[in-house]
Amino acid sequence: MCRMYNDYGSLARDKAEKNLNSVNFPEFEKCAGSSMSFDATENQTTAELQERKSALMEMAEYERECLLIVKARLRPLVDEKVRGVLDVFVNVTDLYGQIYVARDIATRPITTYVDT
């Protein structure tokens, strides 16, 4: 789930750094009707990329919904301490995912150096 949110928010950075992004996988060809190569985003229109990003967000939201359902079913089966730990883990992971959607927070490699 968090991986998909990260990819949603980092598409421009991934393209610039030539990193693999979820939208580079063949499953996303159906979204925009064009073939996909590793650097296909170079020649794609904004509309095609938006279609792929929308599909990625839809999948991430579906996964999130499934996680919340599973968590709700698990709660009565585990003790209070385990529920608390699970809640913290899921909430922190979800928070990071939402932050990635709002803004790419990854570190970027240093490309220029200053001589001292």
Q: Which domain holds residue 68?
A: 2-102
Whole-Å CA distances, 52 to 2, 19, 94, 115: 17, 16, 21, 42
Residue 1: helix, strand or coil by DSSP?
A: coil
CA distance 50 to 32: 9
User: Would you call 111 helix, strand, or coil by DSSP?
Assistant: coil
Percent of the chain with pLDDT over 90: 43
Kindly report, residue by residue over 61-102, the tens digit of the pLDDT.
999 999 999 999 999 999 999 999 999 999 999 998 889 888
| 111 within a domain of the structure (yes/no) | no
Task: Answer whether 0.85 is exceeded by the pTM.
Answer: no
- Give pLDDT tens digits for 37-50: 555 555 557 788 88
The pLDDT-based confidence of 36 (bands split at 50, 70, 90) is very low
Segment 95-112 mean pLDDT: 72
Is 115 a member of any domain? no
72 vs 85, 95, 103, CA distance in Å?
14, 18, 29
User: Does 110 fall in a domain?
Assistant: no
What is the number of domains present in the chain? Answer: 1
Residue 55 covered by a domain: yes
Q: Looking at the domain assignment, is residue 91 inside a domain?
A: yes
Residue 109 lies in a domain: no
Whether residue 114 is contained in a domain is answered as no
Q: Is residue 113 part of a domain?
A: no
